[in-house]
């Protein structure tokens, strides 16, 4: 199994780049933002609770998100790996994810961290808000609150995985294609080194 986290602030291109990565590498896409928006669209109890936080630019409580991720992973027993997009977003979520993977004798192999300036993030999200219908993208104050949540709670995710030397920073400004090429180079490099290690251990 190959498990990858695509990490970065809101609007850094996680959703955009995930599409390319899952297509090339056949990973199962797990976007907590998408899962939460589906729950909201279906007006489930979980979705109605999540909406209150998302509309204020705040993170949804850990227990809600972790339960949802566990259910999603259990429903995909044949996945050859997961691409985690927008998850984990707190240290508690990192610890919970490690435990969920360990139950399946697995771990996170790589964290790719997209780096984008705050002004570019605000510009992109306001741009998406013109057409997406997402209420959290239309108001600059809410967008800045989301970026503050990222600095207050989510940058700790990179610190957590850095202690295991799993984080690689990627410049997230430029064309979608050049950024994808940089991401792909890192994934290809890691997969090649895993093949070499497997071959060596079979000798």
Which residues in this chain contact ligand B4P in the complex, by CB under 6 A?
8, 10-16, 32-33, 36, 53-54, 59-60, 65, 86-87, 89, 93, 124-125, 127-128, 136, 146, 176, 179
Residue 28 phi, psi dihedral angles, 5° rounding = -85, 125
For ligand B4P, give the closer residue by CB, 102 or 123. Answer: 123
Q: How many CB atoms lie within 10 A of CB 47?
A: 17
User: Minimal CA–CA distance to 58: which of 50, 47, 68?
Assistant: 50
The DSSP bridge partners found for residue 82 are 28
Report which residue's Cβ sits closest to ligand B4P.
33
Q: CB of 191: closest distance to ligand B4P in angstroms?
A: 23
Closer CB to ligand B4P, 29 or 128, in the complex? 128
Q: Is the peptide bond before 86 cis (omega within 30 degrees of 0)?
A: no
Nearest distance from C-beta of residue 74 to ligand B4P, angstroms: 17
Smaller CB distance to ligand B4P: residue 5 or 79? Answer: 5
CB of 122 to ligand B4P, least distance (A): 11
Q: How far apart are CA 66 and CA 183, in angstroms?
A: 26
Phi-psi region at 110: left, alpha or beta (left = phi > 0; alpha = psi -120 to 50):
beta
Pick the closer one to ligand B4P by CB: 139 or 191.
139
Shortest reach from residue 20's CB to ligand B4P, in Å: 11
């Amino acid at each position: 199994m190959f498990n990858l986290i695509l990490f970065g602030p809101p609007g850094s291109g996680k959703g955009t780049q995930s599409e390319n990565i899952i297509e090339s590498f056949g990973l199962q896409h797990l976007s907590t933002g998408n899962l939460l928006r589906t729950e909201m669209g279906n007006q489930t109890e979980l979705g109605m609770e999540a909406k209150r936080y998302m509309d204020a630019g705040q993170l949804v409580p850990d227990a809600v998100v972790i339960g949802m991720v566990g259910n999603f992973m259990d429903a995909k027993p044949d996945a050859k790996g997961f691409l985690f997009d927008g998850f984990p977003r707190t240290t508690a979520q990192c610890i919970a994810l490690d435990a969920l993977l360990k139950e399946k004798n697995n771990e996170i192999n790589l964290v790719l961290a997209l780096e984008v300036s705050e002004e570019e993030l605000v510009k992109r999200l306001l741009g998406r808000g013109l057409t997406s219908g997402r209420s959290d993208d239309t108001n600059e104050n809410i967008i800045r609150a989301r970026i503050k949540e990222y600095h207050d709670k989510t940058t700790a995710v990179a610190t957590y995985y850095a202690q295991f030397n799993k984080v690689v920073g990627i410049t997230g400004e430029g064309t979608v294609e050049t950024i994808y090429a940089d991401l792909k180079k890192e994934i290809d490099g890691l997969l090649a080194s895993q093949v070499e290690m497997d071959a060596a251990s079979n000798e």
